[in-house]
Structure 1
Amino acid sequence: MKWKYYVLIALTALFAYACTRNAITGRNQLSLVSESELQTTAKTQYRQFLAQHNVVSASNNKDAEMVKRVGSRIASAITEYYRSKGQGDALKGYKWEFNLVQSNEINAWCMPGGKVVVYTGILPVTQNEAALAIVLGHEITHAVAGHGRERMSQGLLAAGIQQLGQGLLGNSKALNIFNAVYAPTAQIGVLLPNSRNQELEADHYGLIFAALAGYNPEEAIPFWQRMQSLAGGSSTPVFLSDHPAEADRIQHLQEWMPEALKYYKPVKSR
């Protein structure tokens, strides 16, 4: 049985070695996969997803144009925020893309490298630009805060994968874990379950990023109240799957609101 003891020691050492402190959130995260590898894989998966779905053209659709406009403002705000904290390198390789996809799903997601999709099904719930900014701020935070990388690392560790060097994502098991975390090709990837810590971080910094982009963070409360109403129906929207209770989420948002409002400088919405 000694081998189990040594394996436990090795895994503990690996866990400790691979934990990094997120300079923005201050939380320690397991990081067994490089950001550059994730971005490369995400770019491929994003292209495949767009090719297989009905992307709404921003040149002749006001909703698609709004998604790109709001997304671009938030991306600029996040970039400036990270630079102001001396963490501009954390966004290295980010080439932002924002696309609206025709789907009844109430959903949105962001992959590593800033690859974002909003589904048309969520727009009747957001109802305005500020609420859309809340959604995009939340989703983009998952990406820039390394939540997907953290969850994938946890999956790799749980699977006992030893080959964690160059070309990791060429490993079929590692690629399967990537798809389980992001999974747009499986048409379920889109906001997969995250830990409570990750969700709270996404809500918290999503408020700040939306405010920095010039959108009223107070719109988060009625938006999540509308989502709460949907959750009380016969089926739960994908956007809410395995997420914290909406009443708890709203309570936290109210606690963070004074901080977020300090960053808020309004911009004129169209």
Structure 2
Amino acid sequence: MHPRFLLRLLVILPLALLTACDETPTGRSQLALVPENMMAQMGEDAFDQLRRDQPVSRDAAINRQVQCVAQEIVAAAEAIYPADTLPEAWEVVVFEEPSPNAFALPGGRIGVHTGLLQVADTPDQLAAVIGHEVGHVLADHGNERLTQQLGIKAGMLVVGLLGEGDLGQQQLMQALGLGAQLGISLPFSRAHEEEADLMGLAIMAQAGFDPQESVALWQNMAALGGGQPPEFLSTHPANRTRIAALEQAMEEAVASYRTVRPANCSG
């Protein structure tokens, strides 16, 4: 992270701490103090780095399907959360990468790995993943985590326990949820994951994708992952916990789905 950019953040953060906490779209209290224009710029920079480091898929059919699903998800997110500031335009890129993953970044960037399409068997299951990732952006999870990281590190700087050079690109990538892409092991917190799951469920249903396919997706993920570590050892919810939470919210999501036109991103 550029020293002048970091200095601006460290000046803003203590002043912003004097203001009240904000709320996420689900009503959870949140401290997310990095200015949105800074978050958008960091998201753009991170996405550009990924595009330099990873090959982009040229498969026309795959790109067509991913673009279709992403467009429907973004339109539904805008319909459900009109009061929240969303990017004016979204860029969607499919990366040639075998790991089953996807991500969305502040500023309107969505990345999907080709490996995800081996696990997400249908457009509806792909919509569950993209809806989840857009939920992270809508709820400002990257900002919240970066605020926490900078708050801790700013305090360490004040007491002289950390040099300015120790605040670098790695921490930024961690905060934006790009650990898996860049070999950094720091997933979103369990609370963030659960919130993004429920937001994504509502978004995909509003977009015309069958919300029941979200459960099928995580069953596929569970089968792919084999034995998971015990839940208390991970910040991610265990697959069975995730599925149980989705099933608990399913009745409302299905009711919403039945009121809209089904999405058609099959071909």
TM-score (norm 1): 0.80
User: Taking structure 1 as reference, are residues 122 and 112 closer, same or farther at Cα in structure 2, changes over 3 Å only?
Assistant: same
- Map of 1:267 onto structure 2: 263
- Map of 1:228 onto structure 2: 222
- Kindly indicate whether residue 239 of structure 2 is the aligned counterpart of residue 246 of structure 1: yes
SS in 1 for 2:256: coil
TM-score (norm 2): 0.81
- Map of 2:199 onto structure 1: 205
For the aligned residues, what is the CA RMSD?
2.9
- Map of 1:196 onto structure 2: 190
Supply the distance in 2 between the matched residues of 1:82 and 1:189 (Cα, whole angstroms). Answer: 33
Using the TM superposition, give the Cα deviation of residue 160 of structure 1 relative to its aligned residue in structure 2, in angstroms.
Answer: 2.3
- Kindly indicate whether residue 80 of structure 2 is the aligned counterpart of residue 68 of structure 1: no
How many residue pairs end up in the alignment? 241
Q: State whether residues 103 and 120 of structure 1, in contact with CA within 8 Å, keep that contact through their aligned partners in structure 2.
A: yes
Q: State whether residues 71 and 136 of structure 1, in contact with CA within 8 Å, keep that contact through their aligned partners in structure 2.
A: yes
User: Taking structure 1 as reference, are residues 244 and 217 closer, same or farther at Cα in structure 2, changes over 3 Å only?
Assistant: same
Correspondence list, 1:1-270, <5 A: 15=17, 17=19, 19-22=21-24, 24-57=25-58, 60-83=59-82, 87-88=83-84, 90-91=85-86, 93-160=87-154, 173=167, 175-182=169-176, 184=178, 187-188=181-182, 192-232=186-226, 242-264=235-257, 265=260, 266-270=262-266
Output the amino acid matched with 1:267.
A
Supply the distance in 1 between the matched residues of 2:80 and 2:239 (Cα, whole angstroms). Answer: 28
User: Taking structure 1 as reference, are residues 231 and 176 closer, same or farther at Cα in structure 2, changes over 3 Å only?
Assistant: closer
User: Taking structure 1 as reference, are residues 193 and 174 closer, same or farther at Cα in structure 2, changes over 3 Å only?
Assistant: same
Q: State whether residues 134 and 217 of structure 1, in contact with CA within 8 Å, keep that contact through their aligned partners in structure 2.
A: yes
Supply the distance in 2 between the matched residues of 1:136 and 1:267 (Cα, whole angstroms). Answer: 14
Uncovered stretches (5+) of structure 2, i.e. residues with no partner? 1-12, 158-163
User: Taking structure 1 as reference, are residues 185 and 221 closer, same or farther at Cα in structure 2, changes over 3 Å only?
Assistant: closer
SS in 1 for 2:224: helix
Q: State whether residues 70 and 92 of structure 2, in contact with CA within 8 Å, keep that contact through their aligned partners in structure 1.
A: yes
Uncovered stretches (5+) of structure 1, i.e. residues with no partner? 1-10, 164-169
Supply the distance in 2 between the matched residues of 1:47 and 1:37 (Cα, whole angstroms). Answer: 15
Q: State whether residues 214 and 267 of structure 1, in contact with CA within 8 Å, keep that contact through their aligned partners in structure 2.
A: yes
